[in-house]
Each structure stands twice: as structure tokens, then as C-alpha cells.
Structure 1
Amino acid sequence: MQALERDGWACVQCGTHKRLECDHIQPVRTHPELAYTLTNLQILCGACHTRKTRIEVGHKPLTPKRQQWRDLLRDMQRNPVEHERKLNADI
């Protein structure tokens, strides 16, 4: 709760207020002594947390085009009516 309040109930990476998660800046698997230290916590949305974790475990970051495609699909799932309007306007 302290991390949420400190970070303004928003993802520190992208600023969204949806699907917030508390992330350990230094992973607990390598820094167990920092597990409950407030300065080692940050609030991230699910997407930003997943991106950070992928990089931490050794996966390459997504290419800009791949990330853009993922963002588009995520937006379409969140706002299907808006994307339907845009599609119909283009036809």
C-alpha cells in the first residue's frame, strides 16, 4: 500500500492506473534481503511488469514493430467499439 500511495496509484513506466502490480526493482531471487524494503518496490502495470521480467530473465526486448503490434491488439481488446468505428470510417 505504501508503494501504491508513493507512486500515485499509477505505473511508474507508462502512467496507466489499470492492472497495477508491485514489482521488486532488484529481484528477490538475487536480493532476498531487499524483499520488504520500500525503496526496492515500484508500481508497474501488468504489461510493463511483464516486459521488465522478460528482460531480467534473459529474453531479448521485443522489437519496436512487435511491441507496436502487441499494443494494438491490447488496445483493440480494451476498446473494441472504438476500433470498430475506426475500421468502418476507413472503408
Structure 2
Amino acid sequence: MATENIDWSQLTTARDRADRLLKPLKELEASWQTAEMAFIADQLIALEDQDPNAQPGTERQWRDYRTQVRRWGEGADGYPAVESRPRRPV
């Protein structure tokens, strides 16, 4: 009876596989977060300048949204599911 040696360095855990599957989603969310923070900054300037093209929402709502976007990451409810992202003021 032939025996084979197990190469334990090739062993992957369920956590390793999950991390590998989630990596692209996490990268997508990091890109979204960066772009959204820039959008929020522009929006706050537009509100400060009383720009008629500003998006709906008050300055307070946009600042609260900025806090939510900043917290969007590991540990946030629903992260990294796109449908769980914080929502812009309306």
C-alpha cells in the first residue's frame, strides 16, 4: 500500500477561501468610498456656496452621511455588500 505525504503548506482554511472571494468586493468598496468622500466634499462646498445645482439634503444630512461613509468598512453591518452601502440624502 503506497502512502502519500501531505503538503500541509498547501492547506487552506475556509477563512482563507472567504478572504480570497471577498478581496475584489472589498477593493470595489474602497474605491467607492474614496470617490464618495470626494463627492461629499464637493456637495458640502456647493451647499456652503448656495449653488442651485446642489443635490438634495441639508448640510447636516451630508455631514452625517460623510460619517456613515467613513465608517463603511470591516465590521460595518452588511459590508461589503453594495446594497448595504450608506445612502445619500434625498
TM-score of the superposition, structure 2-length normalised? 0.23
Higher strand share: 1
